[in-house]
Amino acid sequence: MVVQDSTDAGDARVGVQLQPFLHQVGGHLSVMKYDEHTVCKPLVSREQRFYESLPLAMKRFTPQYKGTITVHLRKDSRGHLSLVANPLKENRGPFKVSTESAAVAIWQTLPQTTSGSGGAHTLAQWQHTQLAHSLKESSATSLLRSEFHLNAHVSSLVEDANGNQAERRSFNPWGLQCHLAHLTRLCTEYPENQLHRFLLLENVVSQYKYPCILDLKMGTRQQGDDVSEEKKARHMRKCAQSTSACLGVRICGMQVYQIDKKHFLCKDKYYGRKLSVEGFRQALHQFLHDGTRLRPELLEPIQRQLRALLSVIRNQSSYRFYSSSLLIIYDGQELPERTPERLHPPEAPQPDHGSSSGSLSKVDIRMIDFAHTTYKGSWNEHTTYDGPDPGYIFGLENLIQILQDIQEGE
C-alpha cells in the first residue's frame, strides 16, 4: 500500500505502508510485508554482513537479499499508527543513524512475559476482542481483509504447549503478537520521526496458496559469541531441556493446512520446547498430514533438498549458524495432476519453485535468521572456528533420518 507521508509538511514523501506478515510462525522480531514478494525485518548488522558475503552455494537455501530500507512510525489524523518505509531509492546514500536498527533494541527490553511454563498460556490467552481492538488501531486491518478475500474460508486453530485447542482465528496469531508488541514499543520508546533500518528479503511463501510452514531451530547450541553470561545460560538451559541437545533440532513454530476443516493448525515455540524425541517425530508426521491423510509425496523431495543442504553445510568451513532457523515449506493445496517421481531426476535437487500442475509437489527449504552467525572474515569477530558447524550437521542428519523412518513406516 503506497501512502503519502506528511509527517513533515515541508518534506512530503511517498512511502510504503508496511503490513504484518501473517505467515510468520516463529521468531521474536516482527517480520513485515513490504510487497507481495518482499518482507522486511529490523536490521542487525551481523545479519546484513552475512547476506552481503553469502557463499554462492548457500544462496539457493536462503531468501534473496534485496537490500535495506529506512522505516519510521506514522500517525494519521485519527491517531492510528503504522510503519512506513521510505522509497528504496532514498537508501543508496549515507544513512546517519546507528548501524544497529533501533527496532532491535525493542526486543532486548521487552518484559519476558512469555517465558517459562506460562508462555504458551500467554499466547493462548491472547483475547480475540483485545486483538480485534488492537487491529482496528493499526494498519493490520487492511491486510487481514485482503487475506480474507484471497482465502475467504481459511481460519486457524491454535493449540497451546499441552496440545489444548485454545481458539479458532482467521490468521496465525504469532506474527501479529510480534507486530503489536513491536508497534507498541516503538511508539512509547522512540519519537515518531525516529528512523529505523530494516532488511529487505524475499517472501519465500509468496507462491503458495496455503503455505504450510515448519520453523526448526537448528544445532545443539543457540547462543552467539556476543551474548551476556545470563543469556548464554538461558539458551544452554533451553537446549538441554529440549530436543536441541539430543537431536540438534527443535520446533519453533508450525502451521499446517487441514483440508477437511479448511483451517491452519498452528503451534508455537513453547510447544516445541516440551517435545520428547518421539514427540518431535509425531510433530513432523503431523506437519505432513492434511487432516485426512499423510502426504507421502512430500517426503522424498524434502529429504532430497535436506541432503543437498547437508552437502553444502559440510563445505562451509568456520561457519557457525548459532540460533538460526530452517524453514520447510509446502503448499497445503494439493495439485490436480501429479507427475511421477521419475520425471524429477535426483541429480537435480533444486527447490521446486514452479506452480504448474505438472509439478509433483511444491517444496522449499530455506535457512533464515543469521543475527548470531559467525565465520572467518566476519567483522569484529573475537572467536573463530575451524571446519563446518558440527551441531547444524548433527541436526540435519537426525532430521533426515526421522523423515526417512516416517517414509519407511508408511
pLDDT at 227: 66
Q: Does residue 72 carry a pLDDT above 50?
A: yes
- Across the chain, mean pLDDT equals 76
203-212, 224-233, 356-365, range with greatest mean pLDDT? 203-212
**Residue 14 near residue 5 (C-beta atoms within 8 A):** yes
- High-pLDDT (> 70) share of the chain, %: 66
Higher pLDDT, 72 or 137: 72
> Residues 367, 372, 377, CA angle at the centre, nearest 5°?
95
Q: Does residue 267 carry a pLDDT above 60?
A: yes
What DSSP character marks residue 226? T
pLDDT at 161: 53
List 35's β-bridge partners, or say none.
38
pLDDT at 131: 39
* Angle, helix 128-136 to helix 140-150, in steps of 10 degrees: 110
Which stretches within 288-352 are classed as H helix?
299-314
pLDDT at 399: 98
39-48, 81-90, 333-342, range with greatest mean pLDDT? 39-48
Spell out the domain ranges in the chain: 13-90+171-204, 207-334+359-409
pLDDT at 172: 79
Higher pLDDT, 120 or 375: 375
pLDDT in tens, 357-380: 334 568 999 999 999 999 988 766
Class of domain 207-334+359-409: alpha beta
Higher pLDDT, 348 or 408: 408
Q: Does residue 144 carry a pLDDT above 60?
A: no
- Grid coordinates of 149: 478475500
Which residue carries 563446518 as its cell? Answer: 388
pLDDT in tens, 77-97: 887 888 899 866 544 433 333
